[in-house]
Amino acid sequence: MLKKSSRSKKTSSNCNINSCLSAKQVSIMFITFLIVHLSVVFLVNSLFPGLVVLGTHVFSATAGLFVSMVMFTLIPVLLIPFLATSCAGSCMDEKKNCLKLFVVDVFGLWVVARFAEYLGMGIKAWWVALVLAAVISLLQKKLLKYVIFKVDQGECC
């Protein structure tokens, strides 16, 4: 039993996405991801207003940005623990993690943009979702390293 626990500690220290995230890590991950998502989409909307459209007849641009990014942030934060365990206990390499985050981000942006009338954010074309997802995935990868390895984990599972 002791060998198994020491092996799992060794494995989890090598993994990039730990399958056993504490509530503190998940909450910090949500807040940091939300700040990054808000910043990136606001910047893209400011620089290229025709590519990312914020607001509807119900929402102002600010409210549309906030509502759509909260919904978008929930998708990767809720899926990251499942992505970590999808490799059946073995550690995934960094490229596979980044690729999975990219796919989740493209899916999340597409879903949010499909419900633009209700969530307040629309995109002009599918390639905008790809470019935004690439930028956001890279920033999320950097934040994940901080959230998982720098924040105290406390009791795990």
Domain count of the chain?
A: 1
Q: Is residue 9 part of a domain?
A: no
Mean of all residue pLDDT scores within the chain: 79
Of 125 and 26, the structure prediction assigns the larger pLDDT to 125
Among 108, 155, 121, residue whose Cα is nearest residue 49: 121
| Residue 133 confidence (pLDDT) | 93
Highest mean pLDDT among 4-13, 19-28, 31-40, 73-82: 31-40
In order, the DSSP letters of 57-123 are: SSS-HHHHHHHHHHHHHHHHHHHHHHHHHTTTTSPPPHHHHHHHHHHHHHHHHHHHHHTHHHHSEEE
Q: Is residue 57 part of a domain?
A: yes
Q: Is residue 47 part of a domain?
A: yes
**Tokens at 30, concatenated:** 């949500």
Q: Is residue 5 part of a domain?
A: no
Q: Is residue 13 part of a domain?
A: no
Of 49 and 84, the structure prediction assigns the larger pLDDT to 49
Q: Which helix (H) or strand (E) holds 135?
A: helix 126-150
Q: Is residue 63 part of a domain?
A: yes
Of 146 and 40, the structure prediction assigns the larger pLDDT to 40
* Domain of residue 131, residue span: 20-148
**Tokens at 122, concatenated:** 């629309």
Q: Is residue 2 part of a domain?
A: no
Residue pLDDT, tens place only, 53-82:
999 898 899 999 999 999 999 998 888 777
| Residue 157 confidence (pLDDT) | 40
Q: Is residue 34 part of a domain?
A: yes
**Tokens at 80, concatenated:** 């990251």
Amino acid at 94: E
